[in-house]
Amino acid sequence: MVVDNEWPADFPRLKAFGFKGKDGELTGKPRYEDLVTYCEHKGFTISKSAVGRFGIRMRMLSRMKNAALIVRECMADLSADKASATQKAVAEMITAQTIEFIASNESLSAKEIHNVARAMKDCTQVSINADKYIRTQIEEKIKKACESTKAKLAKAGVDSKKIQEIIDEHLGVVKKS
């Protein structure tokens, strides 16, 4: 009822907030009061604030499931070139979801806080490693382009100083001092 906004078939219609009394149909979305009524109908006593806390957690889980679906879609066409960028995006998404979870949850136990902190650390590490991998791949591409350019220009008879100038200017290679 909280996440899907649907009325259960066995809901006591006369007690529903959205009951209009004409044809027995429930209108609108179930409210927290309706969840309390439904729990009482099933023989459980529960407060509206408890339903609210439960609703917050259920919505968070629903958002995490949606994020997981997005991640699966991103991973479907994953190639070696896109791997690290995708890993970084996934780590950032998980970090954002974790921060949102912490912000919406007022009563985390010490163990839960520890687990969340560990997940944040792992996501940060994945993001850092992805950045390092991307930089390494770019460096390798530049080195290959430099070597190829040097070979082609040397074969064409261009002076080695001129080759170095061309490489520095056009490939953006900076000399280390």
Q: How many domains are contained in the chain? A: 1
Q: If you ran DSSP here, which 8-state letter would residue 17 be given?
A: T
Establish if 67 belongs to a structural domain. yes
Establish if 30 belongs to a structural domain. yes
Establish if 62 belongs to a structural domain. yes
Tens-place pLDDT, residues 54-94 = 888 777 777 777 766 666 666 566 555 666 666 667 767 77
**Closest Cα to residue 96, out of 125, 128, 64, 65?**
64
The parent domain of residue 31 ranges over 1-76
**Closest Cα to residue 98, out of 126, 131, 75, 129?**
126
| pTM (two decimals) | 0.41
Cβ(109)–Cβ(102) below 8 Å: no
Establish if 68 belongs to a structural domain. yes
Cβ(173)–Cβ(138) below 8 Å: no
pLDDT tens series, the chain, 177 aa: 877 888 888 877 766 665 555 666 667 778 888 888 888 889 999 998 998 888 887 777 777 777 666 666 665 665 556 666 666 677 677 777 777 776 666 666 777 777 777 777 776 777 677 777 778 888 888 888 888 888 888 898 988 888 888 878 776 655 554
